[in-house]
Chain A
Amino acid sequence: MIGTTRRHLTALTVATAVVALAACAPSSSSTGGGGSGGSDGKGVTLSVWSWRTEDVAAYDAIFDVYEKAHPGVKVDFKAFKNTEYNQILTTGLAGSNGPDVVQVRSYGQLQPTIASGSLVPLDSTVDLSSWDANVVKSAEGKQDGKLYAVPLAQQTLQMFYNKDLFAKQGLTPPTTWAQFIEVNARLEEQGITPMAVGAKDSWTLPIVHQVLAAPRFGGAAFEKAVLSGQKTFTDPDWVASVDELKKLKPYLPDSAVGVAYTDAQILFTSGKAAMFPGGSFELGFFQKQNPALKMGVFQVPAPDGSPTTAPATTGYADGAFGVSTRSDAQQASKDLVAWMATKEFGQLVADKVKQLSAVPGVTYADPLLKQMADSYATNPSPYLLLVDFRYGTPSGTDVLGTGLQELLLGKKDAAAVSKDLQRGVSQWFKPSA
């Protein structure tokens, strides 16, 4: 038995070796995408990849609408685990049998995909001139300024709060900083964790920083100053904004750096914490896990000493859809992404995926989503480190995330954390003076 198997094995491996010698290194010449079907437009199946495993059912319903309007086109939506998606996308776009339309990351994280030559420029396919400039920036190449994808969603950052817990304590959403501190103090006294923060997962901390202290460093004005080189992250306003987090530490869960993001979510949904500084992406999750939870959102008032007295809602674009250069259904794919720039698609995203759409002019049935969109429209502030400081290594969010952990652990003060941030991003960031 083993003798013949061995012979077969040897033959197989020798044959494989011969074939393998013909295998190429990178920039392989294989073409051909996953879209089957001919150029006559009959019976095309477009393969769409995404990292939103939570939204598979929603997107299937959305693409049903597209399929009805475009007979002969079928859309096969596949979602992959988010943490492995970047690897899967890289290999998928680099070889044969890959996807036609892909969901891609935004701002800095999109640049490697663009540099690989994997995405088709879409400047002539869609017209985004009426869109928010910050949103369009998320899908452009930094080097050539061309548009490579159609932005999908916007996220806003604000404070979620538990209406029942507030009502029980006779509290209302604060409109001044002093009121905000008092709300926290009162909740703390009653044994309720005021703010649920999962500081163990460092990516949450820059978000918390934006929610609590964006007005303190000056929001959009500061962004402009930093990008032009007039200011750096050692600026006293920025340092003071970082320090606010330190001052609010007593109102975070005990040993916040040991509390994971999932724990913080549980604290909020189970009613043990009254507030949750987070993004609009949390909404769907909170509603699903605890439909009985009465939630509200508010903007945290500007801390004392802020350059601007208005509160701010931080926002950024999250996700975009692009067309693979290796797709063999180029026109059909372009048609699909062109549809993704329409209000019809945006409205479907708002209704079914329950996210803020990047498309302007969408109406939101969910009152909280509407409130978030309106707040952002009134008091926009960019999520600075994500939008502008992910174009190199180290990324601004990584450095600040770790720095804020050290701040909460008492190992560094706000000035040291800010200095680290400046040192980190100045490795690759050149102000466009």
Chain B
Amino acid sequence: MSRRSGLLFVAPALLLFGVFVLYPMVSALSYAFFTWHGTTRGVFVGLSNFGVLFTQEPFREQLPRAFGHNVAFFVGTMVIQNTLGLGIAVLLHRRARTRRLLQTLYAMPYLVSPIVIGYLWTLLLSPTFGPVNALLRTVGLESLAVPWLGDPSTALWVVVLVSAWQWVGFPVLLYGAALGGVPEELSEAARVDGASHWQTFRSITLPLLVPAIGTVSVLTFIFAMEAFALPYALGGSTGNPAGATDFMSLLFYRTAFENGSTNAIGSSSAIATLLFAVIFGGAVLATRVLRRAENRIGA
């Protein structure tokens, strides 16, 4: 396609996005370089708001911790999304009769607002009323009946699992669509040659799925770095218990809206800009790696 055609095709999206999202976002990031009095912008202060993030409490302690949680969240959800999601998509691939029904069932947690998801899971896992612990006790797994959301060592993993449960519909759909693009003839030929399901999958299907896996992984990374609604619903804005479920976006939220500092916009924008820089770096790196892998396979 000629460059001119390319630009014409891209123009509407670029205009829409540029005006209504890009411009406000750049503004939001630029706020970090000023000091603020409520919503009135003050003087330009360069990197001073950023400096505060690394030298003063609560940021000095909470920022790295929250970031660590985001990373752990990414690793956890990535592993689960890509194994569980891919596994389910593969299992569903040839079950044409039940596929749509099952896909809908798997995607249903995604359709409900995260606030309520948080409440429902808090109720299910409650040490006083929750059926999960009651069930574990009757089955004899007393030792597992811990306060899931009350223990700092388990709370984060609960958030990971609930998030994976909520989002699994997305990789299932995407991988399902990608699997449909894998030519039947290749895997049939392999089966005829005597390869097992697993060998066929590993040598033929999986390499062809790399672009889709790449997409899911990059999106999971970005989502994990930005995660807000679910952690907020499960752990509140302070990342209960004792900051174990604190995320970068929760730190942003607290700083921007829940404290009495008149420079709230300055500090919170600095957090947002920092987050953006990290995600940008990570995503650029990941996309480059994946494009290279794609080109190698696609050739």
Contact = CB atoms under 8 A, between A and B. Distances in A.
B261 interface: yes
Interface in A242-277: 253-260, 262-263, 266-267, 272
A25 B149 contact: no
A20 B23 contact: yes
B57 interface: yes
Interface stretch (A165-173, A278-286, A386-394): A386-394
A120 to B, nearest CB: 15
Contacts of B20: 16, 20
Given A258-B150, A395-B259, A112 B264 contact: yes
Contact of A427 (B57, B149, B241): B57
A93 B40 CA distance: 12
Contact of A255 (B18, B123, B127, B236): B127
A201 interface: yes
Given A86-B257, A395-B258, A112 B38 contact: yes
B238 interface: yes
B127 A405 contact: no
B284 interface: no
Chain A CB within 10 A, most for which of B148, B149, B150: B150
Q: Is the interface of A mostly helix, strand, loop or mixed?
A: helix
Given A258-B149, A401-B238, A263 B126 contact: yes
Q: How large is the interface on A (under 10, 10 to 19, 20 to 34, 35 or more residues)?
A: 35 or more
A116 interface: yes
Chain A CB within 10 A, most for which of B40, B56, B119, B242: B242
Interface stretch (B9-17, B98-106, B136-144, B178-186): B9-17
A115 B37 contact: yes
B128 A259 contact: yes
A27 B150 CA distance: 44
B254 interface: yes
Given A16-B19, A87-B257, A257-B151, A393 B240 contact: no
B267 A116 contact: no
Given A86-B257, A113-B38, A395-B260, A427 B56 contact: yes
A50 to B, nearest CB: 17
Contacts of B295: none
A253 B240 contact: no
Interface string A390-433: 11111100110110011001010000000000011001100000
B280 interface: no
B259 A393 contact: yes
Given A107-B260, A258-B147, A405-B240, A13 B127 contact: no
B257 A391 contact: no
Nearest to A403: B242
Contacts of A267: 128
Given A262-B119, A427-B56, 15 more contacts: A6-B12, A20-B20, A112-B39, A116-B40, A202-B241, A258-B151, A263-B128, A267-B128, A272-B128, A390-B260, A391-B260, A391-B261, A393-B260, A395-B259, A405-B242
